Amino acid sequence: MSRSRLPNRAITFLAATAVVATTTGIAAASTAPASEPEKTARASASSGTLISSLKGWGRMDYPDAGQDIQVTVDAHATFKGVGWTRPDKAWGTFRIYHRMPAANGEPELVNWGDFKVDCLTSGGPTATVTGRLVRTGGNVSAWDDYLKRHVRMGISFYVADGKGSGPSRIGLSGGTEDGEPLLSKCMAPAADAEVIKGGYDLTDRAPAR
């Protein structure tokens, strides 16, 4: 099925999903001058590689009842020290899955995409993952154009600790259109949608073993 013949509800989904975070840039490895005590503390803590990881599956809340959006992630990154905000290396995959129920005689619509991780950043209970689209599936070709261009998308996560910190949350970027620049690495909108089923495990820059 071509994009031009998608049902109106699929087009609406694509338009909603294409709201990309407009925040630009992210701090690179910290090189700004610091006070002498802070320098000393940072230098002593920066020795050795640090590792972040984010794993899990979740179903996110969506305002259109009956629609099912799921995010599966297995992302990893290494950092050269605590002063580094961008990873030295990132790898893994994530999948965005979207199912729309049958309506008005139309068949159920399913669209999913697999992404190769190119950035994972983390801080406390939060993380951001970005990746390039490498595979799509389902019964609607909603992301055919995105796949040709290996569009980058981003996801933000708030991983609740279960101690009165509220529900975990996810924020999804969309894919940029043809002729527009790719979303920058490590960028995603705020994690505003509740995780209503499933969950995630986040390791925030722990010393490598």
Q: Is the dihedral of CA 195, 114, 173, 10 positive or negative?
A: negative
Q: What's the pLDDT score for residue 162?
A: 77
Tell me whether residue 68 is in a domain.
Answer: yes
Q: Does an H or E element contain 130, and which?
A: strand 126-138
Tell me whether residue 34 is in a domain.
Answer: no
Tell me whether residue 26 is in a domain.
Answer: no
Tell me whether residue 42 is in a domain.
Answer: no
For 7-35, how does the pLDDT look when each residue is reduced to its tens digit (9 = 90+)?
Answer: 444 433 433 443 333 333 333 333 333 44
Host domain of residue 159: 3-21+49-207
Tell me whether residue 14 is in a domain.
Answer: yes
3-state secondary structure of 13: helix
From the list 113, 110, 79, the residue with the least C-alpha distance to 94 is: 113
Tell me whether residue 195 is in a domain.
Answer: yes
Contact by Cβ (8 Å): 127, 159: yes
pTM for the predicted model, two decimal places = 0.77
The tally of domains found in the chain comes to 1
Please state, rounded to an integer, the average pLDDT across all residues of the chain.
81
> Which stretch, 30-39, 97-106, 123-132, has highest mean pLDDT?
123-132
* Separation of alpha carbons 70 and 155, rounded Å: 12
Q: Does an H or E element contain 185, and which?
A: none
Q: Is the pLDDT confidence value at 106 over 90?
A: no
Tell me whether residue 29 is in a domain.
Answer: no
For 162-175, how does the pLDDT look when each residue is reduced to its tens digit (9 = 90+)?
Answer: 777 789 999 999 99
Tell me whether residue 28 is in a domain.
Answer: no
